Amino acid sequence: MPSVTTLLTLSINGQDHVFEAEGRTTLLDALREQLHLTGTKKGCDQGQCGACTVHLDGERVLSCLTLACQAEGRAVTTIEGLAGPDGALHAVQTAFLEEDAFQCGFCTPGQIMSAVACIREGHAGSEAEIREYMAGNLCRCGAYPHIVAAVRRAAEGLA
Amino acid sequence: MTPLDPTPRRGDAGDGLGARLPRIDGRAKVRGAASYALDHPVEGVAHAVIVQSTIPAGRVRTIDTRAASAAPGVLLVLTPDSTPPLRAASTWTGEAPTQPEYRPLEHTIRYTGQQIAAVVAETLEQATEAAALLRVAYDREPAVAGMDDPAAGEGNPLPPLAIERGDAALAFAGAPVRLTAEYRTPREYQMPIEPHGLIARWEGDALTIWEHSQWLDGMARTYAEWFGIPFEKVRLISPYIGGGFGSKALALAHGALAALAARQLGRPVKLALTRPQTFTAFGGRAATRQVLELGATAEGRLLAIRQRGCNETSVDGVWIEPLSSVTALMYDLPNFSSQQHLVPVNTVLPFAKRAPGENPSAFGLECAMDELAYAVGVDPLALRLRNHAERDPQSGKPWSTRRLREAFAAGAEAFGWARRRMAPGSLREGRLLIGWGMAAGTYPVRRSPGEAMVRVLADGTVEVASSTSDMGTGAYTILAQTAAAVFSVPLAQVRVRLGDSSLPRAPVTGGSQMAGLMTGAVDKAARAAREELIGLALTDPRSPLRGVANTLAVEHGHLVPPRGEAPPLPIGALLTALGRDRIEALRDTLSENGLTPEDRYRAFTTVSSMRPPTDGDYSMHSWCAHFVEVAVDEALRSIRLRRIVTAFDAGRLYNPKLAESQIKGGIIMGIGQALLEGGMIDPRQARVLNNNLADYLLPTNADVPSIEVISVGEPDPHASALGGKGVGELGIVGVAPAIANAVFHATGKRVRELPITMADLV
Ligand code: FES
Ligand code: FES
């Protein structure tokens, strides 16, 4: 069976990308292997770690469980698209830096994309709520208390 | 690639060691711009997928590759039949190979999940599909699933680990208070969030490997030996590592296969293990079992401990998880006997996970001390103070520094331990049973030499370079701070390059030794560069400061005549006047570690010259005390942590902000060990059943309570050049017993096997 590829157009971080992909190609693999947007990480490829979190039309999704073709016609935002055009960091990125909310940094793009959505969803009201709504993003370095502090700080700054 | 864009800050002397500064690699990490192994763009890369054995023991009879080879995009199928052998490499401990050849794919199967084939294709999807088309026929043989398998037997004694101090049998027999208990820990996995993988590329006989590495030089040596090329022909690149915890220190079989495939295809190959494959492609922590017999006076003074333990190893080799490492030295203990067996089973060879040895050792001892506290009716903290060791009872040497009493005091104070009531079940909030538990921990100071280059550029920038690595420890930042302190420049003016085997040498980033040894090497190189600058400023005819003074200080990036004989001269201005673009110094700390220049290669590419904690006049260790509160739901028996306070003595902290993060990370991994993590082994297939992150549970944000950490350390001049002791592993040691003791306090139920789950409390 020959591999069947189709031409996809994805809008990523405000820019259109046109490329060939197979129907089975995940959004995560398309981002990383074809478009060289490697800020989004693969921690499990099974929807279990959150490292691959990106936004589709502003909502957080796991890009390892999303086919690239499902993202057509929707706005994809990745960690690379979070800072301003002038390079100014997003409030959540700044808060992660200030609170030392990471060690190795591998889970961090996913944590930050989740955190931005968590605040936008209105789920950053208390520490307990943040812990619950950030629980889908694993951090083996154990930066959790600092992630909670960073989300709080950013939520207050954005309020 | 390296953090060349540190957050610009206003710098002053406050950018030196000891300052609470943010990570200089942080900006790259929060922008998604830090490149980890598989992030490097490599032109023309092909994708490899490995296939693992589905039987635990026997042979691969045949692998039918026809369908896979014919699948779209497939470039190469490697099987035990089609894969040429490599040369055998010496071991990481420096022993010569026992056989001439190394086969990354073998017919003989020793464990489920052993790699038996690989498929390389144009795309990852094609390689994954083709790998599923391989038809493997096996000849199966009986296997030993784990150390509790009746076929496992007693295992083999390990005489070098045996300790006989005093007469433990006699003292135990005569002790007024005696208790005996067995403690168990399961297979545990490191599970960094970055799964293992690499990209290999050949150019002629030169091999470049992008692979996460806790040990650039050791892994580069292994690749060089496998492929029979000089060490200098291998370049390993690893500027960022997505967590290691012991699992990324060695070159592994899948790495050999990727490099082999790349050579055979004449194009670069990327190989990423799947998450399930990371459970068997390298070893996690060995399962352990130990029986402890404690004899004590009626007041709880220890008279004797007898320890009989074992750990799993593989039929494939020897892994020792030393169970006596904490037991032997934590308390003033006149009579101690310890023996340990190794039980070979059909598993991948276990390896290091955060605090190998100390971790399960402390689990047994610190639970047993709690049991003793209840047996004699003495508060658990008071019992520990009563048995405080004034010197190392095993080596007889004085401690270099041991601020464990201070840790107990600070932790107890912050936690409110004095308000604790002894009786189990005495604290309650509605249907929640509240328990308070505590335990101590320790980790030894290990020492190896390091090497670093420090360079001062004409624009005043200071560059630091070494092949050591930063897996989240903060190496970039503390090494920048070290150099910033010597030249008294702002941190933003220091650039650090790490994680490249073409840079000056460094030993393994493991055993919690990196910070101590590398700050020492960078400090030495920076001082040498500074001396050279001062020398040139005083003597070079082109120097504006020549003849002005006979000494100079370096302050705020300027050369300063001590009595104001001339205005301070910026370092960059001196270099310009001298017509030089740089001053640099390469220094190592071989001689400080009793080594000669001839030892250089061996010292950095094997662990054979790592010095133990008692090498010298002192016994050197970090110390900690954990205090935890749990809440057990009376009806559901669910266990929730409510708060943790940890006080620790890791000597001087080079950057307290980052060291505290690491201690908290260790504590959180300890929470996982206590309540969540454990490999479940299918007794028939000797297979890890829960080989994914939804079944092998890591702590999530929702599992972690507020954690307070308090440093009580002071500089230890014996432990390292700049006074620090190990941080990375310390935090996890003692967490699991503190939690187990808190669960006992809440419920009256003593659980001696990890992880502690609801089922244990029903
Ligand atoms: S990689 Fe998508 S959830 Fe882990
Ligand atoms: S920072 Fe390492 S996994 Fe989260």
Nearest CA in chain B to A135: B701
Distance A68 CA to ligand 1 centre (A): 15
pLDDT grade, residue A159 (50/70/90)?
confident
Among A58, A81, A104, residue at a domain's last position? A81
**A112 and A146 together in one domain:** yes
> What does DSSP say about strands B115-121 and B135-140: parallel, antiparallel, or unpaired?
unpaired
Does this model's pTM top 0.90? My answer is: yes
**A51 and A98 together in one domain:** no
* Min Cα–Cα distance to chain A from B661, Å: 7
pLDDT digits (tens, 9 = 90+) for B352-385: 999 999 999 999 999 999 999 999 999 999 999 9
**Mean pLDDT across the stretch B557-586?**
94
**A46 and A68 together in one domain:** yes
**Residue A12: which domain range?**
5-81
- Cα atoms in the Cβ-side hemisphere of radius 13 Å centred on B45: 26
In a domain, A110, yes or no: yes
Q: What is the CATH number of the domain that holds A139?
A: 1.10.150.120
In a domain, A18, yes or no: yes
pLDDT digits (tens, 9 = 90+) for B257-287: 999 999 999 999 999 999 999 999 999 999 9
B708 in catalytic set: no
Partners of B663 on chain A (C-beta within 8 Å) are none
Distance A102 CA to ligand 1 centre (A): 18
**A123 and A95 together in one domain:** yes
Of A36, A51, A135, the CB nearest to B193: A51
* Residue B424 near chain A (CB below 8 Å): no
**A70 and A119 together in one domain:** no
Taking an 8 Å cut-off on Cβ atoms, the answer to whether B707 and A98 are in contact is no
* Distance of alpha carbon B698 from alpha carbon A136, whole angstroms: 11
**A66 and A12 together in one domain:** yes
pLDDT grade, residue A2 (50/70/90)?
low
Of A105, A107, A139, the CB nearest to B240: A105
pLDDT of residue B10: 34
**A126 and A68 together in one domain:** no
**A105 and A154 together in one domain:** yes
Among A36, A57, A81, residue at a domain's last position? A81
pLDDT grade, residue B14 (50/70/90)?
low
Domains in chain B: ranges and CATH: 26-35+448-605 (3.30.365.10), 46-142+196-272 (3.90.1170.50), 288-446+614-761 (3.30.365.10)
Count of structural domains, chain A: 2
Q: What is the DSSP letter of B724?
A: B
**A95 and A60 together in one domain:** no
**A13 and A66 together in one domain:** yes
Residues 459-478 of B with CB under 8 A from A: 471-474
| Cis peptide upstream of residue B755 (ω within 30 degrees of 0) | yes
* Min Cα–Cα distance to chain B from A38, Å: 5
* Distance of alpha carbon A109 from alpha carbon B33, whole angstroms: 10
Ligand 1 first shell, C-beta below 6 A: A 42-45, 47-52, 62, 64
Asked if pLDDT for residue B173 goes beyond 60, the answer is: yes
Q: What is the CATH number of the domain that holds A54?
A: 3.10.20.30
In a domain, A86, yes or no: no
Interhelix angle B514-539/B475-487, nearest 10 degrees: 30
> What does DSSP say about strands B639-649 and B706-711: parallel, antiparallel, or unpaired?
parallel
Nearest CA in chain B to A136: B700
In a domain, A54, yes or no: yes
Pocket test for ligand 1, best of A31, A32, A40, A44 (most atoms within 8 A of CB): A44
pLDDT digits (tens, 9 = 90+) for B399-414: 999 999 999 999 999 9
Closest residue CA from atom 4 of ligand 2 = A139
* Min Cα–Cα distance to chain A from B192, Å: 6
- B693 alpha carbon, closest ligand: 1
**A39 and A107 together in one domain:** no
Distance A43 CA to ligand 1 centre (A): 5
Asked if pLDDT for residue B9 goes beyond 50, the answer is: no
What DSSP string describes A71-120? GTTSEEE-GGGTS-TT-PPPHHHHHHHHHT--SS-SSHHHHHHHHHHHHH
**A120 and A69 together in one domain:** no
